Copies of this chain bind each other. A is one copy, B any other.
Amino acid sequence: MSPRSHPSAVKLRGLYVILDPEISRDRDFASIAREAIAGGARLIQYRDKTREKGEQYAIAGTLQTLCRASGVLFFVNDHVDIALAIDADGVHVGHRDLPVAVVRQIVPETVLVGASTNSVEEARAAVADGADYVSVGRLFPTGSKADTRPATLETLRAVKAAVSVPVCAIGGINESNIEDVIAAGADMAAVISAVVAAEDVREAARRLVGSFSSLR
């Protein structure tokens, strides 16, 4: 399969904020999303490994509506059924979720598919299987996800050189290292704690987004 050329691929750029209830436990998802978008986030992902599907469906529907109204792409992590149910812009799958090729078969062509990778081989395979972007990580130590595999800025550079789709850096990204990942070729930088656990979500997003403009 040749790499897809999705009409929304041009939007796969900038700050990518992942909402995970295990990190932002006491806050309302919609408020965090609104503030992150006001701060300049261009992509939002909802990642929930604990709630029942009925509740996730309601939350995801609210977030998709909110993102669409702002021209921001919204992704559901792992749960392809919820993505289908709410007509999400996209779905993101990790290496222990449904395989990319299978996801590609059960979602319409219009749905963006992102895949977690941590090597050139995995990234190439994901693109061949129909991924619209690949994430590379975890780049730096993080407390926000138990099941992660390490990668380096060198991996990120190599993946960027190897694939034609946008590349998203992930794992422990914050103000101290975001310029390094952008310099290494990241089209998107995914952040979790650095934004959703921040005292001022909008300001935290704004400062991270600033790194994209100053380097590009």
Interface of A with B (CB < 8 Å)?
52-55, 57, 78-82, 84-85, 95-99, 102-103, 105-106
Minimum C-beta distance from A189 to chain B (A): 25
Chain B residue nearest to A105 (CB atoms) is B85
* Cβ-defined partner of A98 (8 Å) among B53, B95, B106: B53
**B residues less than 8 Å from A52 (CB atoms):** 96-97
User: Quick one: copies of this chain in the complex?
Assistant: 2
Question: In the assembly, what is the distance between CA of A81 and CA of B53, in Å?
Answer: 12
Complexed CA–CA distance, A96 and B95 (Å): 27
The interface residues of chain B lying within 8 Å CB-to-CB of A84 are 80-81, 106
On chain B, the residues within 8 Å of A103 by CB distance are 85
* Beta-carbon contact of A85 and B97 below 8 Å: no
Question: Which interface residue of A52, A55, A95 has the most chain B CB atoms within 10 A?
Answer: A52
**Does the CB pair A102–B78 fall under 8 Å?**
no
Choose one: B79, B82, B99; the contact of A57 (CB below 8 Å).
Answer: B99
Q: Which of B55, B57, B96, B105 contacts A53 (CB 8 A)?
A: B96
Instruction: Chain B residues near A79: list those with CB within 8 A.
Output: 81
Per the bound structure, the CA–CA distance linking A102 and B61 in Å amounts to 12
Q: In the complex, what distance in Å separates the CA atom of A97 from the CA atom of B56?
A: 9
* CB–CB A80/B78 < 8 A: no
Q: Which 5 A-B pairs have the closest CB atoms?
A: A80-B81, A52-B96, A81-B81, A84-B106, A53-B97
Name the residue among A96, A102, A103, A105 with the largest chain B CB count within 10 angstroms. A102
For the complex, what is the distance from the CA of A1 to the CA of B97, rounded to whole Å? 35
A95 — which chain B residues lie within 8 A by C-beta? 54
* A117 vs chain B, min Cβ distance (A): 14
Chain B residue at smallest Cβ distance from A58: B99
